[in-house]
Chains A and B, each alone.
Chain A
Amino acid sequence: MSDNRQEITDDLFVHEPLEEGKAEEIANPPSNFWKEATVRLLKNKGAVIGLITIIVISILAIFGPLMNEYDYREQDLLRSNLPPLAAGLEWLGLDGTNSHHTNVYEERSITNAPAWFGTDEFGRDLWTRVWKGTQISLFIALTAAFLDLMIGVIYGGISAYYGGKVDDFMQRIVEVLVGIPNLILIILFILILEPGITSIILAMVITGWVNMSRIVRGQILQLKGQEFVLASRALGASHNQLMWKHLIPNVMGPIIVTLMFTIPTAIFFEAFLSFIGLGLQPPLASLGTLIENGYQEMRYFSYKLIFPAIIISAIMISFNVLGDGLRDALDPKMRK
């Protein structure tokens, strides 16, 4: 101790308790779960970068198609297979040259606005198509995730909350559904539903909600025995009140985390289906169809594959990293 003993004068030896309230304050710093979680999340660099990437991509998905004069389905055979050209970004390879290093724009003397991401074989502008495709992919994923969430929360909630025979019966059904490889069911449903946005969403939701319902059920079962539930029950709270006021807010954490992982899974499935030929039909674009198309011609027009591939990877990575970050932030015990 660096105390200077001379400082200790006689007058210090009088009874003097700490000011009222300060003792408690020292002992228990005030804390708020959501605030703390936010602070923890913001400390996680990966998660923050992921979040920003998602926001940027979402904004581009909405406004990107409006940023030039081209429409995503407008064909112009004079402009077919143009390599990417963007003023100021030539150093990134967006210089309008093809694989033989000839400037196609000069060669074909194209003077109207350049295609930043190039064009496809029908002369459709790929910048517009890529962002339109991102928009559609995100829409499919978000809708599917939202429907999963609704069905999962209701099913899992009812199952866990009522327990007993209801739970037994509902879990038997879940057990059977879990045993079915969901990919195969999705493919079968797409086959009869005719490819399209709605059918892809439906097919994914048919199996997707099971996972969410299991998470919700597990959480509620765990919480059900805890005191605060007993307390509000003893105070005469009704079933509905209990469920919405106490149980659901407490299972929010795991639900948010599961949701964060559901979205990239849905994006993957959409792209996967498109890639094996069960996805959207042109002129509609999605990341999956664009990748499929780009893959077919990657040897000569690699830009057609590269841009959608980068964007889908960025979205998937961002959601996964953000999901990991949220899991750590919302459940500090799980911190690894």
Chain B
Amino acid sequence: MTDTILSVENLDVSFQSYNGLIKAVRGVTFDLKKGETLAIVGESGSGKSVTAKSIMQLLPKKTTVINNGSIVYEGNDLLTYSKKEMEKIRGSEISMVFQDPMTSLNPTMKIGKQVMEGILKHKKISKKEAFVRAKELLELVGIPNAEERMKSYPHEFSGGMRQRVIIAMALASDPSVLIADEPTTALDVTIQAQILDLMKNIQKKTGTSILIITHDLGVVVNMAKRVAVMYAGQIVETGTLEEIFYDSKHPYTWGLMQSMPKLHQDRSVPLIPIAGSPPDVSKLHDGCPFAARCPYVMKVCHNHMPDQSTISGTHSVSCWLQDERAPHVEKPELGGNNVDKSKTS
């Protein structure tokens, strides 16, 4: 049995805005186990990045309200930590890789200095030693001529190389948890694969737990053992990779699967998009947030939030279809293998 290293419990995050309080994250609960990779999947605006940033407490303090829940790291609730205590956690215990490598590096500071900065903060070592360590890290993430490149500025690097540098910075003091917020979204497809491989290799070497935030199911398949599906600030379904891909229960997860292109699928089979667009989280009402777009929507969905039902030890879902009173709904074909070719033109 693996132990839990990070556990988020019933987390609520809201923002103050000109139009009132926006509930970006509502009652999110998940565990991250030592050495595993958990993926949080969802459309943009589903609250997945906010969840990640709230773990690091990188959300703007003045406008963010976290009024419920806990973020427990190795037995301690990070939400009760002071600013100083958080600084010690950030970058040393929990690190983060951001979405856009083009904007995530300080444009006027040399690469080497930026990598060394984190090392010097968390390790009691001399500048010289930090330099050596930074060089090693850059070599680890596959930067050629690391020593020379440390004197370069970010704009002299390609996007993929910058993301490698950012990963190197995140690894500066062997973190136990690496949060990757859409680490490949801004990169070319071929570079994406390289970065994902790099992260997997690093995990093998260091045993870091990875929390990967993405909207790309391809990334999920490539990286994760377990998956949490987020919609409108809530986790609607969690399970192992297999359970989510082959035995999912939530109509939203079905929709996600149907809209994903498959490798072996006939090109003429149309992808099925989910109708409508994600709800405006500032205007949510009581019912299930997916009700407005759900093809199986029932009367009950409009005004009542479904409970979480457990399918197996690892698989749970929040949907009224799980209620015994609900009509039986046939799950649509999700995989590319058994597609009915007669329907195609």
Contact = CB atoms under 8 A, between A and B. Distances in A.
B8 to A, nearest CB: 19
Contact of A15 (B293, B297, B304): B297
A225 to B, nearest CB: 20
24 contacts: A1-B305, A3-B286, A3-B305, A10-B325, A12-B300, A12-B304, A13-B299, A13-B320, A13-B323, A13-B326, A14-B327, A15-B296, A15-B298, A15-B327, A16-B302, A18-B292, A18-B297, A18-B302, A23-B292, A26-B292, A27-B277, A27-B280, A27-B292, A29-B280
Most buried by B among A8, A10, A11: A8
Contacts of B276: 23-24, 27
A14 B292 contact: no
Contacts of A18: 291-292, 297, 302
B279 interface: yes
Contacts of B326: 13
A28 interface: yes
Most buried by A among B275, B278, B300: B300
B283 interface: yes
A13 B320 CA distance: 8
Given A13-B327, A14-B298, 11 more contacts: A1-B304, A3-B286, A3-B304, A12-B299, A13-B298, A18-B291, A23-B275, A23-B276, A24-B276, A27-B279, A29-B280
Interface in B280-320: 280, 283, 286, 291-293, 296-300, 302, 304-305, 320
Interface residues of B, number: 25
Given A3-B304, A3-B305, A17 B280 contact: no
A307 to B, nearest CB: 40
Contacts of A17: 297
Interface in A226-271: none
Contacts of B283: 26, 29
Interface string A116-158: 0000000000000000000000000000000000000000000
Contact of A11 (B286, B292, B299): B299
Interface of B: 18, 275-280, 283, 286, 291-293, 296-300, 302, 304-305, 320, 323, 325-327
Contact of A8 (B18, B277, B292, B304): B304
Contacts of A29: 280, 283
Given A3-B304, A18-B292, A18-B302, A13 B280 contact: no
Given A3-B286, A13-B327, A23-B293, A8 B300 contact: yes
Interface string A1-45: 101000110111111111000111011110000000000000100
Nearest to A332: B18
A14 B298 CA distance: 5
B299 A26 contact: no
A17 B298 CA distance: 7
B236 to A, nearest CB: 15
A239 B47 CA distance: 45
Nearest to B277: A27
Contacts of A16: 297-299, 302
A11 B300 CA distance: 9
Nearest to A4: B304
A28 B280 CA distance: 8
A22 to B, nearest CB: 8
A42 to B, nearest CB: 13
Nearest to B295: A17
A27 B305 CA distance: 19
Contacts of B280: 26-27, 29
A24 B292 CA distance: 9
Most buried by B among A14, A22, A23, A29: A23
A13 B300 contact: yes
B277 A28 contact: yes
A17 B300 CA distance: 11
Nearest to A16: B299
A83 B291 CA distance: 76
Contacts of B299: 11-14, 16
A10 B298 CA distance: 11
A164 to B, nearest CB: 29
A27 B300 CA distance: 20
A-B pairs, 5 with minimum CB distance: A12-B300, A23-B292, A12-B299, A16-B299, A13-B325
Nearest to B324: A13
Nearest to A10: B325
A23 B285 CA distance: 13
Contacts of B292: 18, 22-23, 26-27
Nearest to A24: B276
Nearest to B329: A15
A16 B279 CA distance: 18
